[in-house]
């Protein structure tokens, strides 16, 4: 832990009174911006945080400012918990008793059902060290193929499309500051003003410098309201829009032929395919007027620099990979890649969603973004781990497929969950609850009793955020060091200690699971060396003060802020066009379910809300689930502001307070996904999977308004 006496800061601010307080340079526990902050401990005061300037940025959003409340929270778990039977309550037990029970359940399950009957489900908030160790634990200690993580629900379609088009998936293949410098930004399906709040400053900077923002979104979000042009399309029609924009670019001679010839392959197929997406047809599919389509293309084509950024809107669709590819096709055709101020990028959501998929949390990957079915990759990683490559399992099932088969023949029977809350965050939550209940054994590691932990046989209280050192890889591929600002509460252990304790009990090779994050990071750099996400030249010392961009292959490397300037990471160095076609949502609207439900985030909450619903300032600002709907739709159903609206889909029902807004389309409703119980929108969502990324279609399912409970009961009586 590196702490500076606050007196050291007095040179910068002589007005600061001398004290024995400490100030630790670290990063926010929440989203992929990983904003830099200082944790300040003053005697007799509550721990607080302050923004810290790093990499040209300074600032925190409300979530960041209130993060210190997590550190001494009254609901913090500090004792291992165990239940003796499924219907018995959780009771406090010693760490030895808890770990013995987990190890016993693992051994028993594997003896009876085979190695793959034990599964691991990780989270995109885990540090790189913990993600790496969890992946290694699954493959080396458990020798199971059953591992995946909740990042599969977030960025995997963009990751798959980027691999296909560029040979590399690094969320943004350029520094964040390039966004402020670009002249036209096409932002597709991102409400970053609420999901990555401090990134809003980049948009303001860009516009302030004369840049133009174009937003594609079914809702007029706070982000869309900043745009010069808002393309308000029907949910699930993004691919048709992207193909339509490329059609116009080709037809009007706006493509960059030189860039296409020199740096890409496959254009002809894409050009032919978009021939069928003439503007008035695209207007009929998407609802976006022809004039707006034309203006968007003209703005992008005329600008000296331009960018296309996607987020969960186009990605969380049953054809998310192809949808992202369609926007990549557009960027490539306009020559918007491979030079400063230009490019395609994905706005990662979770704090370490990027690092998690680089270091082995995904079912098909080994550290360094290596494929688990690649013999050379297996040999390299097995060499670092000191095992026979043949002993490593092959690829396993994706997150939803694993959850859907829990407790069944051939499925996982004993599940270890770390830093994830699939009971709330997975699609078709009713089915997930049913499958979790069918498990022989469930163990959850979490600092708080999440909804999933509440179902577990064993709950392990683990360290969080500023109680442990570790690295995070932010949305621009910058690896930053997140420092511990103090010891964890008594009774709490780190995930690394948990894995070491379990590994010893299940007979893994001695010493294979170190508990010191620095030692784990050193091993991770060797395991990633030579891979696509090469951390080989990184060390904790080199990550301060501003982090390093991967690839960083050797100790002399300064990292790679813009990996595509000279060539793309494909075998021939050329980016790939792929011809793609619009199919539409997996679950069309019909007379029984005539409305499109889309899901998303709000400013005051993060993911399944395990932390933010427990932070009073955030919970007070946005206490309950809500259903946003258009006033015209509300009138049709007799709904008034604040009524409780029950929505139903083919999978279940959920409810929220009515929030009437003209910002949404008339035949759609929006619900955020941060709440549990009847406010859990994932009771409704459709687990239809993208065929390539295996990502579920969170962004559209068919629903109806089932019933309305008036806020004022007298209104009900009058009807
Ligand atoms: S933008 Fe994200 S990383 Fe920055 S303070 Fe807010 S939640 Fe934390």
Tell me: the pLDDT tens digits for 88-127? Answer: 999 999 999 999 999 999 999 999 999 999 999 999 999 9
Ligand 1 contacts CB of residue 197 (under 6 A)? yes
Tell me: the pLDDT tens digits for 469-499? Answer: 999 999 999 999 999 999 999 999 999 999 9
Among 352-361, 513-522, 648-657, which stretch is predicted with the lowest mean pLDDT? 352-361
**Is 567:573 a contact under the CB 8 Å cutoff?**
yes
Which of 27, 35, 191 to mutate for ligand 1's pocket (most ligand atoms within 8 Å of CB)?
A: 35
Model's pTM, two decimal places?
0.95
pLDDT band at 19 (very low <50, low <70, confident <90, very high): low
Closest CA to 38 of 464, 466, 447, 350: 466
Ligand 1 contacts CB of residue 61 (under 6 A)? yes
Tokens for 664? Answer: 């949404």
Q: What is the number of the ligand 1 atom nearest to the C-alpha of 197?
A: 1
Cα of 248 vs centre of ligand 1, distance in Å, is 38
Look up residue 334 and give its DSSP letter: T
Give the CA distances from residue 655 to residues 434, 487, 602, 643, 711, in Å, rounded to whole numbers and listed in that order: 20, 41, 17, 10, 13
pLDDT band at 9 (very low <50, low <70, confident <90, very high): very low
Maximum separation of any 2 CA atoms in the chain, in Å: 77
Q: 4-5 and 365-366: which strand pairing?
A: unpaired
What are the backbone dihedrals phi and psi of residue 393, each rounded to the nearest 5 degrees, phi first? -70, 165
**Is 433:406 a contact under the CB 8 Å cutoff?**
no
Which of 29, 60, 68, 478 to mutate for ligand 1's pocket (most ligand atoms within 8 Å of CB)?
A: 60
- Measured between its terminal Cα atoms, the distance across the chain in Å is 65
Tell me: the pLDDT tens digits for 447-466? Answer: 999 999 999 999 999 999 99
Question: H/E element holding 193?
Answer: helix 192-195
Ligand 1 contacts CB of residue 36 (under 6 A)? no
Go through 345-358 and write b for each residue having 16 or more CB atoms within 10 A of its CB, e for each that does not: bbbbbbbbbbbbbb
Ligand 1 contacts CB of residue 399 (under 6 A)? no
Ligand 1 contacts CB of residue 198 (under 6 A)? yes
Name the residue with the closest Cα to ligand 1, atom 4. Answer: 35
Cα of 617 vs centre of ligand 1, distance in Å, is 15
Tell me: the pLDDT tens digits for 602-645? Answer: 999 999 999 999 999 999 999 999 999 999 999 999 999 999 99
Tell me: the pLDDT tens digits for 132-188? Answer: 999 999 999 999 999 999 999 988 999 999 999 999 999 999 999 999 999 999 999
Q: What is the number of the ligand 1 atom nearest to the C-alpha of 60?
A: 5
Q: Could you give the dihedral angle defined by the CA atoms of residues 64, 533, 313 and 321, in that order, rounded to the nearest 10 degrees? A: -170
Which of 198, 347, 476 to mutate for ligand 1's pocket (most ligand atoms within 8 Å of CB)?
A: 198
Q: What is the number of the ligand 1 atom nearest to the C-alpha of 29?
A: 8
Q: What is the number of the ligand 1 atom nearest to the C-alpha of 199?
A: 1
| Residue corresponding to tokens 């709000």 | 602
Name the residue with the closest Cα to ligand 1, atom 6. Answer: 61
């Amino acid at each position: 832990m590196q702490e500076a006496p606050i007196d050291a800061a007095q040179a910068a601010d002589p007005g600061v009174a001398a004290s024995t307080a400490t100030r630790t340079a670290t990063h926010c526990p929440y989203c992929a911006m990983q904003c830099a902050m200082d944790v300040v401990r003053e005697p007799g005061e509550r721990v607080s945080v302050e923004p810290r300037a790093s990499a040209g940025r300074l600032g925190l959003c409300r979530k960041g400012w209130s993060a210190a409340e997590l550190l001494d929270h009254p609901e913090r778990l500090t004792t291992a918990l165990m239940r003796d039977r499924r219907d018995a309550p959780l009771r406090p037990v010693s760490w030895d008793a808890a770990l013995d029970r987990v190890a016993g359940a693992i051994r028993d399950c594997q003896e009876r059902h085979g190695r793959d009957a034990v599964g691991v489900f990780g989270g995109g908030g885990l540090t790189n060290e913990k993600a790496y160790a969890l992946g290694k634990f699954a493959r080396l200690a458990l020798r199971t193929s059953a591992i995946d993580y909740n990042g599969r629900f977030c960025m995997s379609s963009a990751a798959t499309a980027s691999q296909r088009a560029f040979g590399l998936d690094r969320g943004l293949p350029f520094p964040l500051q390039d966004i402020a410098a670009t002249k036209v930004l096409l932002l597709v399906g991102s409400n970053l003003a609420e999901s990555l709040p401090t990134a809003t400053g980049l948009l303001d900077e860009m516009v302030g410098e004369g840049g133009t923002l174009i937003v594609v979104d079914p809702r007029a979000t706070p982000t869309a309201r900043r745009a010069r042009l808002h393309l308000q399309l029907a949910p699930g029609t993004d691919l048709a829009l992207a193909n339509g924009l490329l059609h116009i670019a080709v037809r009007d001679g706006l493509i960059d032929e030189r860039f296409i010839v020199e740096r890409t392959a496959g254009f002809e197929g894409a050009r032919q395919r978009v021939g069928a997406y003439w503007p008035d047809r695209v207007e009929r599919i998407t609802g976006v007027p022809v004039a707006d389509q034309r203006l968007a293309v003209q703005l992008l084509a005329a600008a000296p620099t331009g960018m296309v950024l996607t987020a969960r809107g186009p990605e969380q669709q049953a054809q998310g990979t192809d949808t992202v590819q369609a926007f990549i096709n557009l960027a490539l055709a306009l020559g918007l890649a491979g030079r400063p101020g230009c490019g395609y990028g994905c706005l990662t959501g979770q704090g370490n969603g990027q690092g998690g998929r680089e270091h082995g949390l995904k079912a098909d990957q080994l550290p360094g973004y290596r494929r688990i079915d690649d013999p050379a990759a297996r040999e390299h990683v097995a060499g670092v781990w000191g095992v026979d490559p043949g002993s490593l399992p092959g690829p396993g099932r994706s997150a939803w497929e694993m959850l859907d088969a829990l407790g069944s023949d051939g499925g996982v029977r004993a599940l270890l969950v770390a830093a994830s809350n699939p009971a709330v965050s997975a699609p078709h939550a009713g089915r997930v609850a049913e499958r979790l209940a069918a498990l022989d054994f469930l163990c959850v590691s979490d600092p708080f009793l999440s909804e999933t932990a509440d179902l577990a046989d064993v709950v392990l209280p683990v360290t969080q955020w500023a109680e442990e050192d570790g690295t995070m890889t932010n949305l621009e591929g910058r690896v930053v060091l997140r420092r511990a600002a103090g010891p964890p509460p008594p009774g709490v252990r780190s995930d690394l200690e948990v894995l070491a304790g379990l590994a010893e009990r299940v007979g893994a090779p001695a010493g294979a699971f170190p508990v010191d994050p620095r030692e784990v990071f050193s091993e991770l750099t060797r395991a990633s060396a030579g891979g696509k996400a090469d951390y080989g030249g990184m060390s904790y010392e080199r990550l301060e003060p501003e982090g390093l961009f991967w690839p960083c292959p050797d100790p002399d490397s300064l990292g790679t802020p813009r990996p595509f300037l000279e060539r793309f990471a494909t075998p021939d160095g050329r980016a790939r066009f792929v011809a793609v076609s619009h199919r539409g949502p997996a679950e069309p609207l019909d007379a029984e379910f005539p409305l499109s439900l889309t899901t998303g985030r709000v400013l005051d909450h993060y993911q399944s809300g395990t932390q933010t619903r427990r932070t009073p300032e955030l919970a007070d600002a946005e206490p309950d689930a809500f259903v946003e709907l258009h006033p015209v739709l509300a009138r049709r159903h007799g709904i008034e502001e604040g009524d409780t609206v029950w929505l139903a889909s083919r999978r279940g029902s959920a409810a929220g307070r009515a929030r009437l807004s003209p910002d949404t389309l008339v035949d759609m409703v929006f619900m955020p996904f941060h709440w549990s119980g009847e406010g859990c929108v994932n009771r409704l969502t459709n687990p239809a999977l993208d065929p390539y990324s295996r990502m579920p279609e969170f962004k559209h399912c068919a629903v109806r308004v089932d019933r309305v409970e008036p806020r004022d009961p007298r209104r009900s009586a009058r009807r």
